[in-house]
Amino acid sequence: MRIRLPLQLLALLLLSCGASSSRVSTRQAGDIEVVFLDVGQGDSTLIKCPNGRRILVDCGSTSSPAPDAAAIAADLKQHLDATSPVIDVLVVTHPDADHYNQLTKVLVGISVKRILLPGSAEDQEGRDDLINQYKVSKFNEWLLARNQDIRWVDAENEVKASKAASNLFFTSDNDAKFYILAANVGGDGGEKNGRSIVLKVTFKEFDLVLTGDATKATENHILGKYSPPDDDAPDWLDIDFLKLGHHGSRSTSSQPNWLNRLKPEYAMASAGADNRYGHPNNDIVSRVGPHLLDAPPHRIMQSAGKDQPVLEVAGYAKSLWVTCANGKIRLTSAGQDKAAVVSVDRN
Ligand SMILES: [Zn+2]
């Protein structure tokens, strides 16, 4: 099928060509690697911890036609143990199909040790209600069969602002650490996107934030909790790389005060070509642009039409990526501050 890309995305492809040779990712032993899989209009991120653990955050898509689940599975499996593929932790940020509906197809033959979902049910009946929110592709049935592996997370699990809280998943000092900045904001019956689990991943001096479809309410919740930093406390919002919230939506997420506080040097958005939502939105590019490593000189083009994605990224070719233009995006870091190597499938 021929995929039509907006002219500006084509410009991105062309502009990126010249930079490709210097950005080939060569992961060294001991580096962290983060793979943003190309799932069309949806989300899926694999984190390969230096100590060998594999964390999968979401796997879903509402692209039509649907993406090739077998291809996504093959892509995922090449990053797992060939004889005994394992996902140590699966995080499903919230119960929207574009974040989970591929999982039943993609996880075939892969064992999953622990599952994190947003929620705060105290009894089995409440848990069943929460699980039944994931009906698409019968993911609720898949979850019910793994009931004992599910860990529900909410505000109680958010990292405390004032102290160096314990690592959420693992304890090794030399490995990547995972912290929850927000979970289930608004409660079990709240608006789905706003309930997104927002994860901070820290590896030595390198920090990355994965937002799911976090809304302004979630962003404000985080800003209220962790800003301004106190002199003795860690600055939980000092980050290097941001996965833009809600596929780069303008109206729901990535408000200026959020981006101005996080000041990411690198950013990406996961969105499908020609998606009907206009993700990622040009306004987001202009909001995050000044913070990016290679921001100036830059120029934001006017939108070609209502709700059309417009990306003029002449100044951002080394610090902003979009799956609909670049395909799979791979980031590696040795853990130094502001230092990442990113390679893409398509230039
Ligand atoms: Zn989404």
Q: Which of 90-104, 120-134, 215-229 reaches the highest mean pLDDT? A: 90-104
Q: Distance from the CA of 177 to the center of ligand 1, in angstroms?
A: 24
Q: Distance from the CA of 174 to the center of ligand 1, in angstroms?
A: 32
Alpha-helical segments (H) within the chain: 7-17, 69-77, 103-106, 124-131, 139-144, 216-226, 256-262, 282-288, 323-326
What contacts 300, CB < 8 A, 6 or more positions away?
282, 285, 286, 289, 310, 312
Q: Distance from the CA of 317 to the center of ligand 1, in angstroms?
A: 24
Note the pLDDT tens digit of each residue in 191-208.
999 999 999 999 999 999
In sequence order, what DSSP letters do the residues of 277-299 get, joined into one string?
Answer: T-PSPHHHHHHHGGGSTT-SS--
- φ/ψ of 64, rounded to 5, equals -130, 120
Q: Can you tell me the distance from the alpha carbon of 272 to that of 62, in angstroms, rounded to the nearest whole number?
A: 9
Residue 21: pLDDT band (50, 70, 90) is very low
Q: Distance from the CA of 305 to the center of ligand 1, in angstroms?
A: 23
> Which amino acid makes up residue 214?
A
Note the pLDDT tens digit of each residue in 261-313.
999 999 999 998 878 887 888 788 888 988 988 754 444 333 344 455 444 44
Q: Can you tell me the distance from the alpha carbon of 334 to that of 47, in angstroms, rounded to the nearest whole number?
A: 14
More confident residue, 106 or 20: 106
Q: Distance from the CA of 12 to the center of ligand 1, in angstroms?
A: 23
Note the pLDDT tens digit of each residue in 44-59.
999 999 989 999 999 9
Give the domain ranges of the chain: 7-17+27-344
Mean pLDDT of 214-235: 85
Closest by CA to 199, choosing from 43, 38, 40, 67, is: 43
Q: Distance from the CA of 193 to the center of ligand 1, in angstroms?
A: 8
Question: What are the structure tokens assigned to 72, written together?
Answer: 């996504």
Does 121 have pLDDT greater than 70?
Answer: yes
Closest by CA to 136, choosing from 104, 101, 93, is: 101
What are the C-alpha distances in Å from 39 to residues 75, 90, 297, 322? 11, 17, 31, 12
Bridge partners of residue 253, in order along the sequence: none
Q: Which of 162-166, 227-231, 250-254 reaches the highest mean pLDDT? A: 250-254
Q: Distance from the CA of 237 to the center of ligand 1, in angstroms?
A: 22
DSSP state of 27: P
Q: Distance from the CA of 298 to the center of ligand 1, in angstroms?
A: 28
Residue 326 near residue 342, CB atoms below 8 Å = no
Q: Distance from the CA of 37 to the center of ligand 1, in angstroms?
A: 14
Does 209 have pLDDT greater than 90?
Answer: yes
Q: Distance from the CA of 146 to the center of ligand 1, in angstroms?
A: 24
CATH number of 7-17+27-344: 3.60.15.10
DSSP state of 175: S
Question: What are the structure tokens assigned to 20, written together?
Answer: 């490709």
Phi-psi region of 123 (alpha: psi -120 to 50; beta: other; left: phi over 0): beta
Question: What are the structure tokens assigned to 174, written together?
Answer: 């030399």
In the predicted model, what is the mean pLDDT of the chain? 83
Q: In what order do the strands lie in the sheet with 198-203?
A: 177-182, 198-203, 206-210, 241-243, 266-269, 320-322
Q: Can you tell me the distance from the alpha carbon of 290 to that of 344, in angstroms, rounded to the nearest whole number?
A: 22
Q: Distance from the CA of 144 to the center of ligand 1, in angstroms?
A: 23
Closest by CA to 41, choosing from 233, 323, 335, is: 323
Q: Can you tell me the distance from the alpha carbon of 245 to that of 242, in angstroms, rounded to the nearest whole number?
A: 9
Residue 200 near residue 161, CB atoms below 8 Å = no
Please give the helix or strand (H or E) that residue 343 lies within, else none: strand 341-344
Radius of gyration, CA atoms only, the chain: 19
Q: Distance from the CA of 328 to the center of ligand 1, in angstroms?
A: 17
What contacts 227, CB < 8 A, 6 or more positions away?
237, 261
Q: Distance from the CA of 210 to the center of ligand 1, in angstroms?
A: 12
Confidence (pLDDT) at 164: 57
DSSP-based three-state secondary structure for 329: strand
What are the C-alpha distances in Å from 92 to residues 280, 329, 336? 21, 20, 28
